[in-house]
Amino acid sequence: MANDKLRRRIVFEAARLMYSRRETEYYRAKLKAARKVCGGWVKPSQLPSNAEIRDEIQRFVLLYEGADRGKNLRVMRMTALGVMRLLHKFRPRLIGSTLTGHVRRGSDIDIHVFSSSVEAVAGALDVAGQVYEIEHKHVRKHGEVRLYTHLHIQGAFEIELTLYSPEKARMVFRSSITGLPIERASISQLEKLLGNEYPDASPDEAAPPGESIDRFAVYRALLAPLAGVEQRRKYHPEGDALYHSLQVYELARDELPYDEEFLLAALLHDVGKAIDPLDHVRSGLEALDGYITDRTRWLIENHMDAHKILNGTIGVRAERRLREHPDFEELELLSRCDQAGRQRGAAVPDVNEALDQIAELARLYG
């Protein structure tokens, strides 16, 4: 392997295998290339680096794709920005060849998103009308098997979202090619990059797919799954979570029929139960982020603590904090509606009727 020509032949063959998509992993491509060139087994330590092969792949790209590479790179980056804007609440980070510029025919767009709920990310894609598939993949790394969740969005260029828990948003990920921290870009960083590299780009070129999303479509998409969420009969003899939510909404409407923010809190307070039943408040607010006001958010965020006030189990400081808030009376009222909305056979509107009523309030008083 001291022979530079031999090493060069392995680099060329491994790059050819990867460019033609016969191999997708650097290590396997290097082993197969070395066996072909050397006619036998080669020590891993004697193989060329991933970076050498990546650079050789780029020579193939320039040779066979020419100017198309630059055009594709621009479109891929603009597409990435649009999707990242759509998923802004999940702190997306663009990584990989679309960011570094090392794209070739068949390259996808790789984006990291951070959420404790794949359903929340999928819900945002559903509302935007995106076609996607969810994949759970076991990968062995550093001697242990890890489970990764990917969402593959279909389009002119495939987009692969990799889901990580929120606490990993600040984690340093390392490149399998160089071993160094990977390059990644937030929305603002990508916008700056595109502004520098494509000063002629129009604002519409990277318009987020969800820019004109109807918030009531979001509400409808989040409420619908509640019909399949059965609750503990001891606390909810009325039945599923959707029926309960509609009861709470109807009771709230009897109390404050013209308060859109309060009515939305009543209707949407349990949407997280279809996402993460163990932490339905947090997951619900995560899914609703950007589609409700701060006041509605506060009411939903604290409705469980309001129950503790009613049953006398809350701490003194926590109760004082809530009582000092200007919307405490509405919070207490929401809690009472929540407690009362557990009747079997109660008459309620359907989801569309409830949303139409709130939409009419928004039209009249918004």
- pLDDT tens per residue across span 117-129: 888 898 888 888 7
Q: With beta carbons less than 8 A apart as the criterion, state whether 310 and 339 touch.
A: yes
Position 35 scores a pLDDT of 81
> Residues near 126 by Cβ (< 8 Å), separated by ≥ 6?
221
Render pLDDT for 300-341 as a digit per residue (tens, 0 to 9).
Answer: 999 999 999 988 999 999 999 999 999 999 999 999 999 999
Band (171; pLDDT cuts 50, 70, 90): confident
285 vs 54, higher pLDDT: 285
Render pLDDT for 218-254 as a digit per residue (tens, 0 to 9).
Answer: 898 889 889 988 888 888 999 999 999 999 999 999 9
Coil vs helix vs strand at 324: coil
285 vs 275, higher pLDDT: 285
Q: What value does the mean pLDDT of the chain take?
A: 85
Band (211; pLDDT cuts 50, 70, 90): very low
> In terms of DSSP H, where are the helices of 224-341?
241-255, 260-268, 280-288, 294-311, 316-323, 328-340
Looking up tokens 């309060």 gives 262
